[in-house]
Amino acid sequence: APVAILISGRGSNMAALLRAAEAPDCPWRVVLVGANDPDAAGLETARAAGVPTWAHSHKGLNRADYDALVDAAVRAAGAEWIALAGYMRLLSPGFVSAWAGRIVNIHPSLLPLHKGLDTHARAIEAGDVEAGCSVHIVTAELDDGPVIAQARVPVLPGDTPETLAARVLVEEHRLYPKALTELVTR
Ligand code: GRF
């Protein structure tokens, strides 16, 4: 199954997906890494791995017009699935419905808890004893849509948002490839 990955920054989840795609029995392959920030560090990682990249800033474009560019790029690459990996843009309703059920996202919380930003600070603030990450189907609502898979970690005494984020990120890198495999083979 051909997958396009969309990123905005570092791209460590993207890198985990690229690594997993190297397995001979992996049922999906990465046909494009796209970014809304031409300076996203993950683009360089993708290029170094020999994966086609596409980058276009969203600046000065409305959401629907920008998403039309993304749509054209991912279709031209032959993608049938889109995996968001630290993609910091809300998708327009038209784009989401055109790709209904075929866009996935990874979010660093145990959804439905802590949608949106600053998830780790909010988990600590709330006194949660567990944190984690969720892979879910993208709908028009932010960090909403059916959850495909989750991984859990403990919140430890003395955790800061940074130490908790690092513990969760390790699980994100394991969970995302597995969840994508589950999704494209079901
Ligand atoms: C990850 O924690 C992801 O769950 C969240 O943003 C972060 C992106 O990190 N949506 P990276 O770019 O994959 O390293």
Q: What is the pLDDT of residues 14-33, one digit of tens each?
A: 999 999 999 999 999 999 99
Query: Span 2-185: which CATH code?
Result: 3.40.50.170
Amino acid at 102: R
The residue ranges of every structural domain in the chain are 2-185
Tell me what percent of the residues of the chain surpass a pLDDT of 90.
100
Query: Which residue ranges make up the annotated binding site?
Result: 11-13, 63, 88-91, 105
Q: Mutate which of 88, 106, 167 to test ligand 1's pocket (most atoms within 8 Å of Cβ)?
A: 106
> Looking at 107, 114, 120, 173, which residue is catalytic?
107
Tokens of 91: 């998708």
Which ipTM was obtained for this model?
A: 0.97
Q: How far apart are CA 82 and CA 153, in angstroms?
A: 27
pLDDT tens digits, residue range 104-115? 999 999 999 999
Give the pLDDT band of residue 57 (cuts 50, 70, 90). Answer: very high
Residue 38's pLDDT is 98
The mean pLDDT of 3-13, rounded to a whole number, is 98
The mean pLDDT of 78-83, rounded to a whole number, is 98
